[in-house]
């Protein structure tokens, strides 16, 4: 059983300061969801700035969504410094498999940085693990979707990748698969409309970094709680939608729901199973 009260309570009480090297598309939402969950965001991506900034933070979120020649070396510098300091580092390999530079950068980050968490959709994680994939842009390929038919295979794959990398692996989608190489958590929270908002994955990665940072020694439980929190917030926000609302209001409502989220809501609304 996940102790939501403790996990969420630690985020709210510790106010984890999270350093984000992330894309410019969804960065504002990442900052606001970090504030919503109880953390504190700082964004910095210049090679001259990242070592100092990550040193005063508690955790580091690396998202390659709009990587470029200036920010790639910053990811390595910040990642290594965070490793030295024992800060948890999360990798969100946005679009790995969709371009050579994304796949290679993510792979090289995996080689040189010790990640506490790797979070992506199934296509991205496959690209990362196998060096090839049929990623359709930043969304998972339909042929890759996790379902009851291929679930055992996906779990075995995720466990092996977790063992290899030493990271908690979170493959998120309609059904989320989280593993630390031994324990496996399947999560059924969320709503299909979340895929019609840009950045739900990025936001989840940012929030997950806060949860892991605020809960030292419990990365698996913290990742599970963060993924459940995001999915449940998507459900709560969806109930709020009126006929006139669409994905823009939905985005706001999801962040609002995270802001108001309680341990009780998590206990009542969590839909997960441990394997």
Residues engaged in binding its own copies (CB under 8 A): 17, 23-29, 31-32, 35-36, 40-49, 52-53, 56-57, 65-70, 95, 98-102, 136-139, 196-199, 240, 243-249, 251-260
Is the Cβ of residue 52 or residue 152 nearer to its own copies in the bound state?
52
Q: Write down the least CB distance from residue 221 to its own copies, Å.
A: 25
Q: Write down the least CB distance from residue 179 to its own copies, Å.
A: 28
Q: Write down the least CB distance from residue 205 to its own copies, Å.
A: 16
Is the Cβ of residue 95 or residue 181 nearer to its own copies in the bound state?
95
CB 252 within 8 Å of CB 222: no
Q: How far apart are CA 9 and CA 14, in angstroms?
A: 8
Q: How far apart are CA 247 and CA 146, in angstroms?
A: 24
Phi-psi map region of 137: left, alpha, beta (phi>0 left; psi -120 to 50 alpha): left
Is the Cβ of residue 69 or residue 217 nearer to its own copies in the bound state?
69
Is the Cβ of residue 181 or residue 190 nearer to its own copies in the bound state?
190
Q: Write down the least CB distance from residue 247 to its own copies, Å.
A: 5
User: Tokens 């599970």 correspond to what residue?
Assistant: 224
Phi, psi of 118 (to 5 degrees): -125, 120
Contacts of 183 (CB under 8 A, 6+ apart): 220, 274, 275
Q: Write down the least CB distance from residue 42 to its own copies, Å.
A: 4
Q: How far apart are CA 239 and CA 37, in angstroms?
A: 20
Is the Cβ of residue 72 or residue 228 nearer to its own copies in the bound state?
72
Token pair of 27 as six digits = 């960065």
């Amino acid at each position: 059983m996940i102790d939501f009260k403790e996990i969420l309570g630690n985020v709210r009480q510790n106010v984890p300061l999270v350093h984000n090297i992330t894309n410019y598309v969804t960065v504002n939402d990442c900052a606001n969801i970090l504030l919503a969950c109880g953390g504190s965001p700082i964004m910095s991506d210049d090679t001259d700035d990242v070592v100092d900034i990550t040193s005063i933070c508690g955790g580091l979120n690396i998202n390659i969504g709009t990587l470029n020649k200036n920010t790639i070396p910053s990811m390595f510098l910040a990642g290594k410094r965070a490793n030295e300091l024992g800060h948890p580092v999360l990798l969100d390999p946005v679009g790995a498999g969709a371009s050579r530079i994304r796949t290679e950068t993510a792979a090289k980050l995996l080689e040189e940085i010790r990640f506490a968490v790797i979070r992506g959709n199934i296509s991205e994680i496959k690209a990362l693990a196998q060096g090839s994939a049929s990623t359709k842009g930043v969304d998972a390929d339909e042929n890759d979707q996790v379902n009851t038919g291929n679930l055992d295979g996906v779990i075995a794959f995720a466990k092996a990748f977790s063992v290899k990398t030493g990271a908690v692996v979170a493959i998120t989608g309609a059904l989320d698969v989280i593993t630390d190489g031994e324990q496996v958590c399947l999560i059924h929270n969320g709503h299909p409309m979340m895929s019609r908002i840009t950045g739900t994955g990025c936001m989840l990665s940012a929030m997950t970094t806060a949860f892991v940072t605020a809960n030292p020694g419990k990365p698996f439980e913290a990742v599970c709680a963060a993924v459940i929190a995001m999915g449940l917030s998507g459900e709560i926000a969806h109930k709020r939608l009126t006929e006139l609302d669409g994905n823009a209001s939905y985005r706001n409502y999801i962040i609002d729901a995270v802001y108001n989220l309680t341990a009780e809501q998590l206990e009542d609304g969590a839909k997960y199973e441990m394997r």
